[in-house]
Amino acid sequence: MQYHFFHCDMENFLANFEIRCLTISCLCGCGWNNNLNFFVKIHKMDIELNMWQTRDLTLYGRTMLVKSLGISKVVYVASMLSVPETVPKTVQDRIFKFLRKNKKDKVKRKVIYQPFSHSGVNFPNVHTVVKSLRLS
């Protein structure tokens, strides 16, 4: 009886090996992890928010959409993984583009972040959300 031993290149095997659990991808390369876990979800968030771009919604309606459709997926991943420096800034810029319909700001962002009782819109600040996830 003749046995054939195959040469297994462990680097190639691990480079193409992906584990997915609860929509979180784990690869060997950290750059690919960030790409799959954060930037693909940011792109999907952009697509979902752009579908609502043509609707004539108030600031309160757009804020509700950003909270429910926008940052909820990114916050889910951020609660389990370490977040790269560029992710909160990218998400914040994209959700503000949606809020302002791709125009420049007419109201200061500090005012928009404030709660309803202080004449704000209670808009989420992604930087503080990510920091609060790290604290808990």
Looking at residue 61, its pLDDT comes to: 93
In a domain, residue 61? The reply is: yes
pLDDT at residue 4, rounded to an integer: 43
Per-residue pLDDT at 24 exceeds 50:
yes
**Position 20 in a domain:** no
Task: Output the pLDDT for position 10.
Answer: 45
Q: Based on the structure, what is the number of domains in the chain?
A: 1
> Would residue 6 count as lying in a domain?
no
Residue 64: inside a domain: yes
pTM: 0.76
- The yes-or-no verdict on residue 115 having pLDDT over 60 is yes
CB-count burial class (<10 Å; 0-12, 13-18, 19+) for 84: middle
Domain coverage including residue 123? 39-135
pLDDT in tens, 120-132: 889 999 999 999 9
Over residues 95-110, the mean pLDDT reads: 88
Residue 4 lies in a domain: no
**What is the pLDDT averaged over residues 16-22?**
63
The pLDDT mean for the chain works out to 80
Whether 49 maps to a domain, the answer reads yes
Report the range out of 4-8, 57-61, 80-84, 101-105 with the highest average pLDDT. 57-61
Using the predicted structure, report yes or no on whether residue 78 has a pLDDT greater than 90: no
Q: Does residue 5 lie in a domain region? A: no
- Neighbour count for residue 114 (Cβ, 10 Å): 14
Query: How many contiguous H segments (helices) and E segments (strands) does the chain have?
Result: 8, 2
Backbone angles phi and psi of 77, in degrees to 5: -70, -40
Q: Does a structural domain hold residue 22?
A: no
In 3D, which of 68, 69, 81 has the Cα closest to residue 38? 81
Which is higher by pLDDT, 12 or 123?
Answer: 123
What is the arithmetic mean of pLDDT over 95-118? 89
Contact between residue 126 and residue 88 where contact means Cβ atoms under 8 Å apart = yes
